[in-house]
Amino acid sequence: MKSAIVVFPGSNCDRDCYRVLKDIMNFPTVYVWHENALPDDVELVVLPGGFSYGDYLRVGALAKYSLVGKSIIEHAKKGKYVIGICNGFQILLEMGLLPGALIPNKHLRFICKNVFLKPENTSTPFTNRMKGRKTVSMPIAHGYGNYYIDRVGLDNIESKGMVAFKYSDRDGQANEDSNPNGSLNNIAGIINENRNILGMMPHPERASEKVLGSTDGLEIFRGLLQYS
């Protein structure tokens, strides 16, 4: 599965993603600078975490105007895969490829810790290897991870199975105590209706090797390979 990692000014998780895709998954992988177009033969595009354009205006707001943006939209329209992680998720929301917004964490503090996630929909290319799993564990590191959407939109994504992950406790209970940032309904990640775009605040690339304490994040990339 040929993959591309989009690099914006301020991206800082691009090498982490490259390590997983190229060295662990053995995917042919290239970096794509934000001023360039995606190669036509790319099957998976990853928008990594970081602080694109310094987050000076609003997280992800400037990145959506990057020249690579049109390429990403066309890529997604063809049904090819896109994953936005942390800042990448914020960019996908700003681009309108996923619904909702990410606002400052409830307690207005940057949060960096491991969390448990409950896989909500395991019938997607990204989550199909998590069937039967009560929880998975991945780290978060963000200041703007509080997912928000209006009531109609929330009902829509819940009813259509567009919620991929929810923050939960060790037993898979999504409650206030297990919600690190105030996200509506404990939402940690969502997919689009066509099931080819995933946006999530937790970092699967930081949970893809035993030395890091968890390999649960690797299941997302393995799932894509299995589904293809």
> Which residues are catalytic, by number?
86, 203, 205
Distance CA 87, CA 48 (A): 7
Tell me if 158 sits within 8 A of 149, measured CB to CB: no
For every residue of 72-112, DSSP letters joined together read HHHHHHTT-EEEEETHHHHHHHHHTSSSSEEE--TTS--EE
Secondary element (H or E) of residue 14 = helix 14-18
Tell me if 37 sits within 8 A of 11, measured CB to CB: no
Distance CA 124, CA 180 (A): 25
Distance CA 52, CA 110 (A): 17
Strands 29-33 and 3-7: parallel
Tell me if 139 sits within 8 A of 158, measured CB to CB: no
